[in-house]
Amino acid sequence: MQTYLFFAAALLYAICAVLPSRRGALISGVTALAWVCHGAAMWHDTLAPGAVRVGFAVMLSAALWISVAAYWIENRNFSLDGLRRLVMPSACASALLPVLFPGTLVVLQNQSPAFGWHLAVAVLAYSTMTIAAFHAVLMALQESRLHARTGGSGWLGSALDQLPALLTMEKLLFRLIWIGFVLLSFTVLSGIVFSEELFGQAMRFTHKIVFALLSWVLFAALLAGRRWRGWRGKTALRFTLAGFATLALAYIGSRFVFEVVLHRSFV
């Protein structure tokens, strides 16, 4: 059943990506339907009695599912049609990934109750930073277009022209980064303090933990620089994308290497 739901969600996301900007009500409705199909598929696929499915595909799919929800909500307050052009194709691909790479089932019977919360907060943190990265890419394209002083041409050009002012986009970006940073802080802190309870062993500085800590440092530096030195523009965008890249290496890249390249389970 979940396979059909994943394919239905992917198809609806693809349709949503190519709909003309003037069909706002239709875009909103198709987005909501795709999101419901995607969420139902994730529910049936990842949750089993006494177990949960984990893997790079599952996590990436969950991140884009939450990112679509963030886009849908924010788009009701601001015109973010350009973001749709980035999010929907990515969501389409991510909806198909769990079908191709199912990951592994982790039995929760011997796991601490805190494990589920840690996993959920980690997915939320990564999802929030994913939509922030999309937002940063969109701002970079918007800024480049303003400097080039070219008129609207093509579907992306017209979508960029419909975005709010850069200052508004920047406020939205830092709102997302603050939310993601708080969630990431809880994830890192719980992983360090309760490592033995969560994973059955004392904390070791694996590549996953090192990249997660590096990402936290980058986002902390960005927020501190914004507060005390007024960082904005290209500096903010570079820190955002660098922080997201290291976070992706921690939570997605490591799982991808283990599951696809080495064909080993990884939690």
| Cα 106 from Cα 54, distance rounded (Å) | 7
100 closest CA partner among 264, 208, 256, 267: 256
| Cα 195 from Cα 262, distance rounded (Å) | 25
Q: What pLDDT was estimated at residue 253?
A: 58
Average pLDDT over residues 131-157: 75
Q: What pLDDT was estimated at residue 177?
A: 93
> At 46, is the pLDDT very low, low, confident or very high (cuts 50, 70, 90)?
confident
Query: What residue spans define the domains of the chain?
Result: 2-261
Summarised one tens digit per residue, pLDDT across range 108-135 is 666 666 666 777 788 788 888 888 888 8
Could you tell me which residue, 70 or 182, shows the higher pLDDT? 182
Could you tell me which residue, 37 or 191, shows the higher pLDDT? 37
Q: What pLDDT was estimated at residue 261?
A: 47
Could you tell me which residue, 81 or 30, shows the higher pLDDT? 30
Instruction: For residue 82, give both structure tokens.
Output: 């350009």
Rg (CA), the chain: 19
Contact predicate 134/67, CB 8 Å: yes
| Cα 243 from Cα 82, distance rounded (Å) | 22
Q: What pLDDT was estimated at residue 262?
A: 45
Q: What pLDDT was estimated at residue 73?
A: 85
| Cα 213 from Cα 189, distance rounded (Å) | 10
| Cα 146 from Cα 123, distance rounded (Å) | 35
Close Cβ partners of 114 (under 8 Å, ≥ 6 residues apart): 190, 194, 197, 198
Q: What pLDDT was estimated at residue 96?
A: 93
Residue 135, Cβ neighbours under 10 Å: how many?
A: 29
* Helix intervals (H) in the chain: 2-18, 24-46, 56-75, 81-100, 113-148, 154-161, 166-193, 195-199, 207-229, 233-248, 254-256
